[in-house]
Structure 1
């Protein structure tokens, strides 16, 4: 199978489908649900899990599975320069950095120049390949859990990560930056922000791009500088109309389309209720009621 697939609107206009990649080591059923959702919303894209022998069963016939161990060499090399400075476990935090080396080496081996990377608890509702590349110019490398990245910039990030951990002065810069943004623990998320803001010199989108939003975290509001969404039970209140998902901007009658939802932490329990084929397809707005796990009519 080739690195890319293409679908054509006309003979003159073909759209190259971006591969969608997940990296996950353990066998958890929600991973398979997120992969199937990505395939449902991106039927012409390759949907790929880089994982372990234990989770190969999560890849259905229309998705692909590759062993993580095949792409681990440069990730292993990074482990020798990594410094641990967080309350998260050593293995977990190290792997959060290593996954970018794994993704880079996988893309090289497959001849993939650009892909969409998703964490294994992200449900995707937009066809990434049909979006203009410019939609992602500022969003690339902003979120570790949802990003569209090209191989050139991923190479640059891997070199960046190695430099910031290997060189004592750069590591002190990283520690100082983490302190300045709120005493954040050292993680790939912090390095992403540093890379996005200062190496790539991109402005923050907070996930609000292409007339919708890529969710930061279902359990969290939008960034303070952004319009806020209605919430319920400590989570964003999610609406549906005609099978598409939205949040409602607080104090207005405006709705913002959900490109993705990030079911972080205990919110993973809601993933089975948010598969596109299980969402009501009604002309009127309905919202998901978290306590009952049911879609109910919204007030006009």
Structure 2
């Protein structure tokens, strides 16, 4: 079965929700959490590997990175570095193909079946983001080389700077991010990358709960989601029909605070572990302030 990989520095109050829901829908899947010492509390649920042991190339990239975004430099740099960390991990563990997920994505389907459906490509985008990425190691290696090329030399940097100014002029904020690089790579390599976000009525993956108002019914700024047989459905406005979502992406603080609501089956064990891991999270926060 295809393994699932998360990359998450530190600990977050919502992280147990993500791991629990994946285990509910994929009881046999191997989960890896590439994280930090704080992440080790989830070791019974996911094998934890310290990012520091996988960061050699990511550290090299930090030396050539130029910041072209209104978002914080540390945030945008880490978002790009994660692909270099993932590459190092897949090589170290000799993993040919995995599913990379952002740590705020809930899964409601068999990931092996979904991987098989997209086995003809080496990477997947969900909209313009890589938060749900069925990724082949060889294509990831090629993408990581592409990342370095985009920052190599004056001409490459000039192109990124132009993109930054044009983006901010149009959107008011943002700029060059890993999404920029993923989109550029997909445009140059359409045979290797597939967009798995659909708005034509087919079952799909969620780019973000707050994205899709042009296609789906919304409620309080988020897609209106109803559950049937523990599966989430949005409602496509034009076709007047429900659409199955294989995943939901809780991007942003508001959405993350609501993740618990979107876990359809909560056993007694869930609540016991929820209290346990929530307590560990707050204990770590208090301890870090004291130290």
TM-score bucket of the superposed structures, by smaller chain: 0.7 to 0.9
1:105-184 equivalences under 5 Å are: 105-131=88-114, 133-135=116-118, 137=120, 140-142=123-125, 143-177=129-163, 182=170, 184=174
Residues 154 and 171 of structure 1, relative CA distance in 2, 3 Å threshold: same
SS of the counterpart of 2:10? coil
Matching of residue 74 in structure 1 with residue 65 in structure 2: no
Stretches of structure 1 lacking an aligned partner (at least 5 in a row): 1-16, 280-300
Task: Report the Cα offset of residue 208 of structure 1.
Answer: 2.1
Question: In the alignment, is residue 215 of structure 1 matched against residue 210 of structure 2?
Answer: no
Kept in 2: contact 1:29–1:58 (CA 8 A): no
Partner residue, 2:7: 23
* Higher relative contact order (Cα pairs below 8 Å, separated by 6+ residues): 2
Q: CA deviation at 1:197?
A: 1.4
User: Is 1:48 aligned to 2:32, yes or no?
Assistant: yes
| CA deviation profile, 1:102-155 (whole Å, cap 9, x unmatched) | 000001111101011111111111111013634365693422211110100110
**Mapped partners of 2:265, 2:219: distance in 1:** 23
**2:67 and 2:46 mapped to 1: Cα distance?**
35
Taking a change above 3 Å as real, the CA distance of residues 197 and 145 of structure 1, as seen in their structure-2 partners, is same
Do the aligned partners of residues 207 and 178 (structure 1) sit closer, same or farther apart at CA in structure 2, a change above 3 Å counting? farther
Aligned length: 258
Q: Whole-Å Cα distance in 2 between the matches of residues 203 and 103 of structure 1?
A: 17
Equivalences for 1:209-248 in 2 at 5 Å?
211-221=202-212, 228-248=215-235
SS of 1:21 mapped into structure 2: strand
Per the TM alignment, residue 249 of structure 1 is displaced from its structure 2 partner at its CA by 0.9
C-alpha RMSD of the superposition: 2.4
Secondary structure, aligned partner of 2:27: coil
Alpha carbons 2:34, 2:51 under 8 Å: kept: yes
CA–CA distance in structure 2, aligned partners of residues 45 and 191 of structure 1 = 29
Displacement, 1:204?
6.3
SS in 1 for 2:265: helix
CA contact (8 A) 2:118 2:134 kept: no
Q: Which residue of 1 aligns with 2:270?
A: none
Q: 1:198 aligns with which of 185, 188, 191?
A: 188
Query: Whose strand proportion is higher, 1 or 2?
Result: 1
Q: Cα–Cα, structure 1 residues 200 and 31, in superposed 2: closer, same or farther, change >3 Å?
A: same
TM-score, reference length from structure 2: 0.81
Contact kept in structure 2, 1:119 and 1:146, CA below 8 Å: yes
Q: CA separation in 1, counterparts of 2:52 and 2:34?
A: 9
Task: Provide the TM-score with structure 1 as the length reference.
Answer: 0.79
Aligned to 1:290: none
1:32 Cα deviation after fit: 2.1
Runs of 5+ unmatched residues, structure 2: 268-291
- The residue number in structure 1 matching 2:17 is 33
Greater per-residue helix proportion: 2
SS in 2 for 1:162: helix
